[in-house]
Amino acid sequence: MPDYLVFGSQILVMALLAISLDLLVGYAGIATLGHAAFFGAGAYVAGLLSVHGWGEPLTGVLVAACAAGALGIPIGLLTARSGTLARLMITLGIAVLLYETANRAAGITGGADGLQGMEVWPLLGVFDFDLAGKIGFAYAWCTFVLGFILARFVVKSPFGLSLEAIRDNPLRAAGIGIPVKGRLTAAFVISAAIAGAAGAVLAQTTQVVALNVLSVQLSADVLVILIFGGIGRIYGGLIGAALYMGAHHWMSGLSPVYWQFWLGLVLIACAFLAPSGIMGLMAPRAGGRDT
């Protein structure tokens, strides 16, 4: 579908963001409403690097991922020592704080007009980012695959199994010697780094960073995507992103004014018919839970 390559790139970016959120919500059991903070941080870091003379995409993604991961350290330390309601409030408050900071710092971030003037260099010094989105799609696809492999390695490792033990019973996990707070903080850092990489890819492929990359609406959207696809199932982020964004795109074309009403009906129907998400419907045929 050559006419939908740009849209496909956005789906891959959102799928990677949903997978990073799943590491927290589905595997570590950390409730959060501010995951867009890491996504936006990565987008702005990559964008500012490009604006100020360093447009190499691969190193831009690495720096953005490291910056988002560094942001995840203090937030992870706070949330690891808090209860569920406090975690929701802390993450939501930090996301709102970063959004307003970016809005007020218009001289640096562009504010409500967005960060413009990005100049991304050719990928590997050879492939220019074209308007048709071919290189951008390939770049987003490769980044998604690497992020997916990393996330799958994490959840299949002893570290990932310890996260599931903490999610199921934190007191028993602490009793058998698992450092609960340290593992939850590490999970936050890994998740933040992957989300930052996703934000950087979006910034580089679109060559603009809008203020909504830090919005609470984006945090809610990616949580809906994860619920739609299936929480605690590593493929749920990809399936949920494809279906949710596809429905969003199709319904907004059919009804530009009332599309949110119809999308809401679809989500309500999904909640009743597939409470464990699309992957929950597929799991019995696969012989169990797919991780």
Q: Give pLDDT tens digits for 87-145.
A: 889 899 999 999 999 999 988 888 888 888 888 888 887 888 877 678 889 999 999 99
Label residue 249 by pLDDT band (50, 70, 90). confident
Tell me which residue of 135, 125, 119, 136 sits closest to 54, measured CA to CA. 119
Report domain 2-286's class.
Answer: mainly alpha
Tell me which residue of 120, 117, 111, 147 sits closest to 20, measured CA to CA. 147
The upper half-sphere exposure of residue 230, i.e. CA atoms within 13 Å in the direction of its Cβ, equals 20
pTM beyond cutoff 0.85: yes
Stronger pLDDT, 291 or 49, i.e. the higher one? 49
pLDDT at 284 over 60: no
Amino acid at 118: M
Both tokens assigned to 146: 């690497």
Radius of gyration of the chain from Cα atoms? 19
Gap between the Cα atoms of 11 and 15, Å rounded = 6
Cα separation values, 283 from 20, 29, 148, 149, 266, Å: 21, 20, 19, 21, 21
Amino acid at 56: E
C-beta neighbour count of 134 within 10 angstroms: 15
